Amino acid sequence: MSRTVAKIVDDKIVYAVQKNMNKRFRTIIPQIKSEIKPKISNIILNQLNKSDTVQSLLSGKLKDDFGLFGNVVKVTLTNIIIEISEGIELNIESSQKSGSIITTTLDILPYSDFNKIISVAGGSFPSMGGNVDWLEWLLTRGTQVVIGDYWIFPYAKGRTRSGGNSIMKMIESKPRQPFRVDPNYAGTIEDNFITRAVESVRGDISKVLLEAVDRRF
């Protein structure tokens, strides 16, 4: 059995290794980003499709409340995923304090780019009373009153835009609750069905990144 008689640590060697690893990692960042973007996008899209909010947009109360029609929700989700994918950033930095050679950061859905999400094609459509900015309402307005002089009338007869039986109707003689997003689905810019979906698959996203890095070292 052998044992260590002397141990020599040269900070210059450690620094040289760190510098070489940093340089190597920086050169492969574009390759890693190219590989992980579609995988992360699919993970997020699958999680969004499982959410109660998206199911309600496709065939439930939110579809009726917003007057959604055709494939507007699917188109909007596709465009949201495109924006999320384009906004993914991978960075590295030296981190001697933590004892690591390098620290990686993966930025998804930065708040500074959230306006791009809100304004994607499909997230708004024209109506007789003006634009229906349903995605902005859903993602940012919480339970605030969105339209003060209209309410959701639940017993409409005939064909509605969404194919349901609810329409927006002007508040007239009787006091009514003005229109706001259903509290079960309402979101704010910090906490909405998209941010919750991303947060819930954090582990899966980390695994994709780790596997992509491991293949190159």
pLDDT at 29: 87
Identify the pLDDT of residue 127: 79
In angstroms, what CA-CA distances link 3 with 6, 7, 8, 10, 27?
A: 9, 11, 14, 20, 39
pTM of the model: 0.81
pLDDT of residue 44: 94
Domain limits of the chain? 11-214
Residue 66 three-state SS: helix
Within the chain, where are the H helices?
11-50, 52-59, 61-66, 72-86, 114-118, 134-140, 193-200, 202-214
Give pLDDT, residue 8.
Answer: 47
pLDDT along the chain (217 residues), means of 10: 49 66 82 92 94 95 90 95 90 58 76 83 86 94 85 68 69 81 94 94 92 83
pLDDT at 215: 84
Res 4: pLDDT = 47
Continuous segment of H or E residues that includes residue 103: strand 100-107
Q: CA–CA separation, 121 vs 74, rounded Å? A: 11
What is the per-residue DSSP string for 134-188? HHHHHHH-TTS-SBTTEEEETT--S--TTSSS-EEEE--SS--PPB---TTT---
Structure tokens at 117: 């999400």
One-letter amino acid at 216 equals R
**What pLDDT is stored for residue 7 in this prediction?**
44
What is the per-residue pLDDT for 151? 60
pLDDT, position 11? 61
Q: Give the pLDDT score at 98.
A: 47
